[in-house]
Amino acid sequence: MSARLQPRGDYEVVIGLEVHVHMRTASKLFSPAPVRYGELPNHATHPLDLGMPGVLPVLNRRAVELGVRAALATHCKVHSRSIFARKNYFYPDLPKGYQISQYEEPLATEGWLEIEAPSADGTPHTVRVGLTRIHIEEDAGKSIHDAAIAGSAGSHVDLNRAGVPLLEIVSEPDLRSPEEAAAYLRKLRALLRWADVSDADMEKGQFRCDANVSLRRHGAAQLGTRTELKNLNSFRFVEEALYAEIARQAALLDGGGRVVQATMHYDPVRRATRVMRLKENADDYRYFPDPDLVPLVIAESEIDAVRRALPELPEDRRARFESEHALSGYDARLLTESRALADFYEAAAIRSGQPKVVANWMLRDVLAQLKERDCEIDATQLTPDALAKLIALVEDGRVTAASARPLVAVLIERGVDPETLVRERGLEAVSDTGLLEAAADEVIAAHPEVVAQIRGGDARGLNFLMGQLMKRTEGKANPKAVREILARKLAG
Amino acid sequence: MSRMQPAEVERIADLARLELDAGEVQRMTAELDDRFATAAQMRADLDARRVASATLVETALARAEAAAGLGAFVHLQPERARTDAREADVRRARGDPRSRLDGIPVAIKDLMVQEGEPCTCASRILEGFVAPYQGTVVAKLRAAGAVIVGRTNMDEFAMGSSTEHSVYGAARNPWDPTRTPGGSSGGSAAAVAAGIVPIAFGSDTGGSIRQPASHCGVVGMKPTYGRVSRYGLVAFASSLDQIGPFAHTASDCALALAAIAGHDPADSTSLSEPVPDFAAAQSGDVSGLVVGLPREYFAEGADPEVLARVREAVAELERAGAKTREVSLPHAPYAIATYYLIATAEASSNLARYDGVRFGRRAEADSLGEMYRRTRSEGFGAEVKRRILLGTYVLSAGYYDAYYRKAMQVRTLLRRDFEQAFGACDLIATPTAPEVAFRIGEKTADPLKMYLSDIYTVSANLAGIPGLSVPCGFANGLPVGLQLLGRALDEATLLRVADAYQRRTAWHEQHPALDWERAK
């Protein structure tokens, strides 16, 4: 087993992450207002989201279902009873003066997630990261201090986001490097998207991360004093900010200083962290159970129903692709990066009946095209049926692989029938024996020295002759037929 | 005591766009003379076409104006009320009234949200606030056809027992304007007691309906927690607040409660149990019912005259066939302390939204922190500030376990006390308040003394059980209330017993002289 990455040889880095995820619901956590992005400010609101006097929250059960789904997908223990509490603080984008969250009795606890992170020698390394808890809470609104955005001077508040259902997912301090932290976030994001819990679009603020980081001497039993990095809203920032903070803490410790508990802000321009707020005057949030809400009770049967409705999880799917489709672990992992991709592959494999061949096309041609376009498989015109058909045309010798490969891009752009496409473009493989025989004769006549080599027992020249013949037929010659004809003529 | 003159009837008829001949004016004058008509009597008059809702509403508005010195109302809504009354008259003319309350004028406390109308909770901080949505109870009242004529005075955010802590000034007791009507729903109690409306609604967090009902000589009921939706009730203490009715009779209270009770999907704490026919349950028969008399409530602390009236009332129930039995509520001595810890904790959080950012009053300041401080310091009155501070302290780090958590544990013990007591009796009878209405200014300097006004009422809120106060006589010329407490969801028994009592007594037929009104 290879060693985990150690960003600082002299210190052990300890990282725990708190992730906030917008759940994919039609309406808000406690109000009937729609969840909408890009709406005019304060247009996706209900009196409840504005904290009007006399309004009362009513829990969105769909959010509970998605929360349970996330908890089950991360192997958490789902509690049959959890409590919504008020977290009290004043801020203009917090309309009620408190956030409804869960505190003493959260939705779920004690889960884990397995991640693949790079090791010191570059090989992948599996780490099981513990999840402390998952709880449900409402998002706050947004304060806008930029006059250009707000349209006028002063501070403005947009409450469209206020009340959007969030899951807070808290990891154990099990991560040991920024790379592991990034791998954990990627894995978690993919899993939540896989399970349809969230779109987890980071640009829309649907997946946000805070990191707790501390350093300690190797072998030390006690954790070092930690700092909290707030609002790391891209994978790149997470790694950069953690490296910057690790460097800052290490420098402090090296100089005989000590780390002070604080909330840090990462400045991507200076590539450095700075203290935003010291924890000594820590906020006293005066949590208490929200008297407007009853305890959240989830029956065992409800949990079972969510479990049954849960899509096959990536690990299980990957194992099945390995065992049933005879794919390598590496290939299976690539094909299970997202549920859409795995679904696509599996559907095409079933149509085609040749999973291994389909996997090769996916990994070699389809993924490259997606990467080029920076899009997901389900955002293209390509269907599993079309891919299977194209592969069948190749396998049947009706089109050569060389002619077929560029067609993947066409199918991704326009959802046309592969057979029609091949015909329209005149790409049918040439199997006309007369034509191929004539071409073979020409090639043999043009390269007497190669022919002599082959006849002398050196078969290496055969591929050269085939290449020449393919060139003359613009790649459309059926390779099998060509090989047969050449072999016969050279033997004769 | 005729207070209505023919000229006034003619003026009111003109306002109502009704033309009356001389005979009609005379008849109306006689009919309207009954200033203290119940809703049931008004309905009989409406059904018999003896009076129009437009007239009843116009009369209520005129009386509210005339009684301005009482400070019962903080806002009248004549335009909306007139329109609503005319529509009720049209429905009745078509033979299609919406309910037994259709066309009856009512009043609501200034913390019940009504779309398009002000809602200030008698606080400076909600100055200018007009509600942008409809509260459930108001929606239900409108659906029943009841005509809301105005909003009643109260202690700011329902924090008080005297209706003195109001930005509009103190409300006065119709029996003696130098005294308070009790509180916090003092305006609603006074509006009914003074014969302005037959039914008014208030809210009860620790006694805020029952205590003013007692002090004003009317019936007031706090339903079971969750029986009436709190959606649109501006929160003081969410786990204790309930809306309930005031009326002259338990029978009217039954009608009023039936109109507003029932499950509301917009309130997660609202109960889904069906609402029984309270009126049908009012058989007048109480024979065999066991009335529990808690030892702790008859011990000491109460005015002996008040205790005497309550004992006489209990004796009357015995004569009607009820049995009595001593019961014990051993944790009763902790109720006030428990109540003030829980209620203030919840209030400190509930009132955080009044921050000057989105609605209501905002103080000008150079920084956000300063804006918060100034808005809240200028917007809230002293009693509200006191309770916000107390509640914030109770919840703050290091004190939560000692205060809030402990109070919640005692609350459970109190609830068990009642469960145990109701194993031995069907309902409990106690004084509603330890004394009769006190003088304005008498207790404002001593909050603790004021808090003790609720000593007999807070337990019902902590336990979530229903309670009502029914007039049971006078002490020193001022009304005394008998409090009846019942099992959760058993409002029907309380209303039945109070109705039976009123059938046998005439306390509710005695009314204040209202000489202060003429003097004005």
> Does one domain contain both A135 and A265?
yes
The confidence score (pLDDT) of residue B153 equals: 98
Asked if residue A244 is part of any domain, the answer here is yes
Q: Which is it for strands A227-232 and A262-267: parallel, antiparallel or unpaired?
A: parallel
Q: Which is it for strands B105-109 and B147-152: parallel, antiparallel or unpaired?
A: parallel
* CATH number, position A474: 1.10.10.410
Residues A126-151 have a mean pLDDT of 87
pLDDT tens by residue, A338-348? 888 899 888 88
Nearest CB among A96, A288, A291 relative to B395 is that of: A288
Of A302, A330, A357, which residue sits at a domain end? Answer: A302
**Catalytic annotation present for B184:** yes
pLDDT tens by residue, B87-112? 999 999 999 999 999 999 999 999 99
Contacting residues of B for A86, CB less than 8 Å apart: 349
Residues of chain B predicted below pLDDT 50: 1-2, 519-520
Q: Is A40 helix (H, G, I), strand (E, B) or coil?
A: coil
CA A45, CA A66: separation in Å to the nearest integer? 22
CA dist A420 → A8, A389, B198 (Å): 59, 11, 84
> Does one domain contain both A289 and A329?
no
Looking at the complex, does the CB of residue B258 fall below 8 Å from at least one CB of chain A? no
> Does one domain contain both A345 and A446?
no
Looking at the complex, does the CB of residue B268 fall below 8 Å from at least one CB of chain A? yes
Comparing C-alpha atoms, which of B195, B175, B95, B119 is closest to residue B438? Answer: B175
Of A369, A394, A424, which residue sits at a domain end? Answer: A424
pLDDT tens by residue, B250-287? 999 999 999 999 999 999 999 999 999 999 999 999 99
Amino acid at A223: L
CA geometry: angle A53, B124, B181, nearest 5 deg: 90
Q: Tell me what percent of the residues of chain A surpass a pLDDT of 90.
A: 42
- On whether the CB atoms of residues B205 and B109 are closer than 8 A, the answer is no
| Residues in contact with A424: Cβ distance below 8 Å, sequence separation at least 6, in sequence order | none
Mean pLDDT, chain B, integer: 93
The confidence score (pLDDT) of residue A378 equals: 81
**Catalytic annotation present for B251:** no
Asked if residue A251 is part of any domain, the answer here is yes
Asked if residue A307 is part of any domain, the answer here is no
- Helices then strands (H, E): number in chain B? 18, 11
Chain A: give the shortest CA distance to residue B232, in Å. Answer: 4
Any alpha helices (H) in A83-170, and if so which ranges?
147-150
pLDDT higher than 90, residue A272: no
> Does one domain contain both A27 and A164?
yes
Asked if residue B434 is part of any domain, the answer here is no
Asked if residue B78 is part of any domain, the answer here is yes
> Does one domain contain both A62 and A32?
yes
The confidence score (pLDDT) of residue B33 equals: 60
> Does one domain contain both A39 and A73?
yes
Contacting residues of A for B348, CB less than 8 Å apart: 88, 286
- On whether the CB atoms of residues B159 and B123 are closer than 8 A, the answer is no
Mean pLDDT, chain A, integer: 87
Chain B: give the shortest CA distance to residue A277, in Å. Answer: 16
Task: Work out the number of other CB atoms within 10 angstroms of the CB of residue B217.
Answer: 30
Alpha-carbon torsion, ordered A351, A357, A362, A364, to 10 deg: -160
The confidence score (pLDDT) of residue B1 equals: 33
Asked if residue A45 is part of any domain, the answer here is yes
Contact check, Cβ <8 Å, A56/B230: yes
The confidence score (pLDDT) of residue B31 equals: 56
Looking at beta carbons, which pairs linking A313-321 to residues 24 or more positions away fall under 8 Å?
A313/A73, A313/A191, A313/A194, A313/A195, A314/A190, A314/A191, A314/A194, A314/A339, A314/A342, A315/A114, A317/A342, A321/A345, A321/A346, A321/A355
Per-residue pLDDT band at A288 (split at 50, 70, 90):
very high
Q: Tell me what percent of the residues of chain B surpass a pLDDT of 70.
A: 96
pLDDT tens by residue, B309-358? 999 999 999 999 999 999 999 999 999 999 999 999 999 999 999 999 99
The confidence score (pLDDT) of residue B5 equals: 66
DSSP-derived secondary structure for A11-23: EEEEEEEEEEEE-
Q: What are phi and psi of B221, to 5 degrees?
A: -125, 135
The confidence score (pLDDT) of residue A1 equals: 43
What residues make up the domain containing B88? 6-282+489-515
Residues A461-484 have a mean pLDDT of 77
pLDDT tens by residue, A173-206? 999 999 999 999 999 999 999 999 999 998 899 9
Looking at the complex, does the CB of residue A86 fall below 8 Å from at least one CB of chain B? yes
Asked if residue A6 is part of any domain, the answer here is no
Maximum separation of any 2 CA atoms in chain A, in Å: 98
CA A302, CA A313: separation in Å to the nearest integer? 19
Residue of A89, A145, A158, A288 best to disrupt the B interface, most CBs of B under 10 A: A288
Residues A457-474 have a mean pLDDT of 78
CA B7, CA B13: separation in Å to the nearest integer? 10
**Catalytic annotation present for B208:** yes
The confidence score (pLDDT) of residue A400 equals: 77
Comparing C-alpha atoms, which of B111, B106, B110 is closest to residue B84? Answer: B106
CA A294, CA B269: separation in Å to the nearest integer? 6
Of A424, A448, A472, which residue sits at a domain end? Answer: A424
* CATH number, position B274: 3.90.1300.10
Looking at the complex, does the CB of residue B267 fall below 8 Å from at least one CB of chain A? yes
SS3 readout for B461-520: HHHCCCEEEEEEEEECCEEEEEEEEECCCCHHHHHHHHHHHHHHCCHHHCCCCCHHHHHC
> Does one domain contain both A289 and A189?
yes
Identify the residue with better confidence: B500 or A488.
B500
Asked if residue B427 is part of any domain, the answer here is no
Asked if residue B297 is part of any domain, the answer here is no
The confidence score (pLDDT) of residue B2 equals: 38
CA atoms within 13 A on the CB side of A179: 16
Determine the residue of chain B that is closest to A86 in CA distance: B349
Asked if residue A4 is part of any domain, the answer here is no
Asked if residue B418 is part of any domain, the answer here is no
> Does one domain contain both A130 and A237?
yes
> Does one domain contain both A236 and A336?
no
The number of distinct structural domains making up chain B is 1
Residues A441-469 have a mean pLDDT of 80
pLDDT higher than 90, residue A455: no
> Does one domain contain both A276 and A353?
no
Contact check, Cβ <8 Å, A52/B349: no
Number of cross-chain residue pairs from A and B with Cβ atoms under 8 Å apart:
102
| Residues in contact with A28: Cβ distance below 8 Å, sequence separation at least 6, in sequence order | A34, A35, A46, A48, A49, A60, A138, A162, A163, A164, A165
- On whether the CB atoms of residues B453 and B161 are closer than 8 A, the answer is yes
Asked if residue B248 is part of any domain, the answer here is yes
> Does one domain contain both A113 and A22?
yes
Asked if residue B176 is part of any domain, the answer here is yes
Residues A75-85 have a mean pLDDT of 97
Contact check, Cβ <8 Å, A286/B397: yes
Chain B: give the shortest CA distance to residue A160, in Å. Answer: 14
Contact check, Cβ <8 Å, A286/B129: no
Asked if residue B409 is part of any domain, the answer here is no
pLDDT higher than 80, residue A482: no
Q: Is B75 helix (H, G, I), strand (E, B) or coil?
A: strand
Contact check, Cβ <8 Å, A58/B233: no
Q: Tell me what percent of the residues of chain A surpass a pLDDT of 70.
A: 95
> Does one domain contain both A400 and A448?
no
What residues make up the domain containing A316? 312-424
The number of distinct structural domains making up chain A is 3
Determine the residue of chain A that is closest to B232 in CA distance: A54
Residues A234-258 have a mean pLDDT of 89
